[in-house]
């Protein structure tokens, strides 16, 4: 679902909170009662104590909790962890994973399921609040409801569930899991929630059945540092062992087959692939639909200099091709040579597609020096990008602005990074025309976002 966006010209703001009345000084270890009022980037809840912002973990907005102060160095805010829920939210649930329960001390609980005590629908609302707050603070963009729709309804629709998650309560979705090995005991498990201590567990409720079949839970694996479990959608599950003191993992360079709708993709077992079983198809469809809308509006030129940046194994380039048809010309850029090889194989049937191994910033710098006809083709083109968690960043965003493509389709895994890049693009004359969020990491604070920008 796409949402109309009301642009209000908000100024860019830093994440710092203004100084507030200090009240009674807070000391580490002090117990305080808090009314939790909101959610912040990173999935931590927000409250105030005598005017001072307190970031409090393991709480849900709307609750009253007792919390222990863990950090009080800053004048404007403190950090605390919930020790007792005085007035619980109707959305509080028994944690989906006993080993990660918020009833355990953070040092003793498994990480990777920090929202597991919150009802799934409320998790998506909290993620929608994080996204809209980030876009308002850093992107200068305010979400507005469609005519006749309440804003709360727009928020409820902003973060879309992956198919099947509501039926499974968001369990059994991960096709990739990394475990770690305690160097002293050889015990295998995930890291603790807030440290690199290894937590022994007897289940992995977020993992799919293929991973559950091969997970070495309860085993001792001395000499091993990491255990990567991979369960492809169209191949056998496998275990990749990273030995202590070695940089390579046996089997990591083996090709495995993933199926997205009816299309097969070859991917290195140790390479990047979305971990949610439905995420590749969900993002493939979202990008295809975004490009289809651009085609319908007469804004997409298949013969122009279209780019797929941070292209990985070619998933999103293939999505563009499905929308644009056989006349598409597109270049996929990826710094990982093995992933580029996979992309070349996956895009081989597309005559106008090619995959290059290069750093994105360096390749764009070369394009900026290209001859006028090449620059003209690029200015008529569409750029699809799926950067790392840090976002495209200042240098790459500035280069894109100089290249001035007609459209930018931006897939983001961090809302603040996206929002900062949004402001830069908007200041350069691009209009944000579509924003969609995808809950492809249930029971965590993470989510993915698709933003479409059009050059005004």
Residue-wise DSSP of 105-137: -GGGSBSS-TTTTB-HHHHHHHHHHHHHHHIII
pLDDT recorded at residue 24: 66
Element spanning 453, H or E: strand 448-455
Rg (CA), the chain: 23
Q: Same domain for 305 and 408?
A: yes
Cα separation of 352 and 365, whole Å? 22
Q: Which of 102, 123, 144 represents a domain boundary (last residue)?
A: 123
Q: Same domain for 289 and 245?
A: no
Structure tokens at 402: 């100089």
Cα separation of 246 and 237, whole Å? 23
- Which pLDDT tens digit goes with each residue over 34-65? 999 999 999 999 999 998 999 999 999 999 99
pLDDT band at 147 (very low <50, low <70, confident <90, very high): confident
Considering only residues 204 and 16, tell me which one the structure prediction assigns the higher pLDDT: 204
Q: Same domain for 63 and 202?
A: no
Q: Which of 143-152, 379-388, 435-444 has the lowest mean pLDDT?
A: 143-152
Q: Which of 144-153, 317-326, 442-451 has the lowest mean pLDDT?
A: 144-153
What's the whole-number average pLDDT of the chain?
Answer: 93
Q: Which of 123, 147, 168 represents a domain boundary (last residue)?
A: 123
Evaluate whether 383 touches 426 at the Cβ level (below 8 Å): no
**Is the model's pLDDT at 3 over the cut of 50?**
no
Q: Same domain for 214 and 285?
A: no
* Domain assignment present for 155: no
Closest CA to 60 of 83, 44, 80: 44
Q: Same domain for 245 and 357?
A: no
Q: Same domain for 105 and 36?
A: yes
Half-sphere exposure of 141 (CA within 13 A, CB side): 29
Domain span at residue 190? Answer: 176-251
Q: Which of 233, 251, 269 represents a domain boundary (last residue)?
A: 251
Is 79 known to be catalytic?
A: no
What average pLDDT does this structure show over 260-279? 97
Evaluate whether 59 touches 67 at the Cβ level (below 8 Å): yes
* Domain assignment present for 308: yes
- Which pLDDT tens digit goes with each residue over 212-248? 999 999 999 999 999 999 999 999 999 999 999 998 8
The single residue of 413, 418, 435, 451 carrying the catalytic annotation is: 413
* Domain assignment present for 165: no
- Residues with Cβ within 8 Å of 298's Cβ and at least 6 positions away in sequence, in order, are none
* Domain assignment present for 132: no
CATH of the domain at 406: 3.40.50.150
Dihedral (CA of 27, 29, 34, 40) sign: positive
pLDDT recorded at residue 74: 86
Q: Same domain for 408 and 344?
A: yes
Q: Same domain for 295 and 232?
A: no
Structure tokens at 23: 């009240």
Domain count, the chain: 3
Q: Same domain for 197 and 287?
A: no
pLDDT recorded at residue 153: 77
**Is the model's pLDDT at 82 over the cut of 70?**
yes
**Is the model's pLDDT at 170 over the cut of 50?**
yes
pLDDT recorded at residue 64: 98
Q: Same domain for 103 and 235?
A: no
* Domain assignment present for 134: no
pLDDT recorded at residue 75: 83
Q: Same domain for 238 and 286?
A: no
- Which pLDDT tens digit goes with each residue over 310-364? 999 999 999 999 999 999 999 999 999 999 999 999 999 999 999 999 999 999 9
* Domain assignment present for 304: yes
Q: Same domain for 450 and 400?
A: yes
Evaluate whether 432 touches 426 at the Cβ level (below 8 Å): yes
pLDDT recorded at residue 144: 76
Residue 409, classed as helix, strand or coil, is: strand
CATH of the domain at 16: 2.40.50.140
* Domain assignment present for 145: no
Evaluate whether 207 touches 229 at the Cβ level (below 8 Å): yes
* Domain assignment present for 425: yes
pLDDT recorded at residue 143: 82
């Amino acid at each position: 679902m796409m949402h109309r966006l009301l642009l209000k010209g908000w100024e860019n703001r830093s994440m710092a909170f203004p100084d507030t009345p200090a009240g009674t000084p807070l000391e580490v270890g002090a117990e305080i009662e808090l009314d939790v009022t909101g959610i912040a980037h990173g999935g931590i809840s927000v409250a105030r104590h005598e005017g001072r912002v307190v970031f409090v973990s393991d709480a849900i907005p709307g609750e009253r909790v007792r919390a222990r102060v863990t950090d009080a160095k800053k004048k404007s805010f403190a950090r605390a962890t919930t020790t007792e829920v005085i007035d619980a939210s109707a959305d509080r649930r028994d944690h989906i994973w006993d080993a990660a329960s918020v009833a355990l001390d953070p040092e003793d609980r498994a990480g990777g399921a920090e929202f597991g005590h919150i009802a799934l629908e409320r998790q998506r609302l909290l993620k929608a609040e994080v996204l809209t707050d980030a876009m308002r603070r850093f992107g200068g963009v305010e979400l507005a409801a469609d005519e006749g729709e309440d804003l709360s309804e727009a928020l409820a629709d902003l973060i879309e569930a992956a198919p099947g998650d509501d039926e499974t309560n968001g369990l059994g979705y991960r096709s990739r899991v990394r475990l770690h090995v305690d160097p002293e005991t050889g015990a295998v498990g995930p890291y603790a929630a807030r440290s690199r201590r290894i937590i022994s567990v007897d289940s992995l409720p977020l993992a799919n059945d293929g991973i559950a079949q091969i997970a070495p839970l309860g085993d001792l694996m001395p000499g091993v540092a990491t255990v990567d479990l991979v369960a492809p959608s169209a191949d056998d599950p496998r275990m990749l062992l990273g030995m202590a003191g070695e940089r390579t993992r046996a089997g990591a360079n083996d090709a495995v087959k993933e199926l997205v709708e009816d299309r097969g993709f070859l991917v290195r077992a140790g390479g990047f692939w979305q971990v949610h079983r439905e995420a590749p198809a969900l993002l493939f469809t979202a990008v295809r639909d975004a490009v289809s809308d651009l085609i319908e509006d007469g804004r997409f030129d298949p013969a122009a200099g279209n780019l797929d940046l941070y292209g990985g194994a070619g998933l999103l380039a293939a999505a563009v091709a499905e929308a644009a048809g056989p006349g598409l010309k597109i270049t996929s850029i990826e710094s990982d040579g093995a992933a580029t090889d996979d992309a070349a194989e996956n895009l081989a049937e597309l005559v106008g597609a090619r995959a290059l191994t290069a750093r994105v910033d360096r390749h764009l710098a070369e394009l900026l020096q290209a001859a006028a006809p090449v620059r003209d083709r690029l200015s008529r083109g569409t750029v699809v990008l799926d950067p790392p968690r840090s976002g495209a960043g200042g240098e790459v965003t500035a280069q894109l602005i100089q290249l001035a493509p007609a459209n930018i389709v931006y897939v983001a895994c961090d809302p603040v990074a996206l929002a900062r890049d949004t402001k830069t693009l908007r200041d350069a004359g691009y209009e944000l025309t579509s924003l969609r969020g995808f809950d492809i990491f249930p029971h965590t604070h993470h989510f993915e976002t698709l933003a479409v920008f059009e050059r005004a």
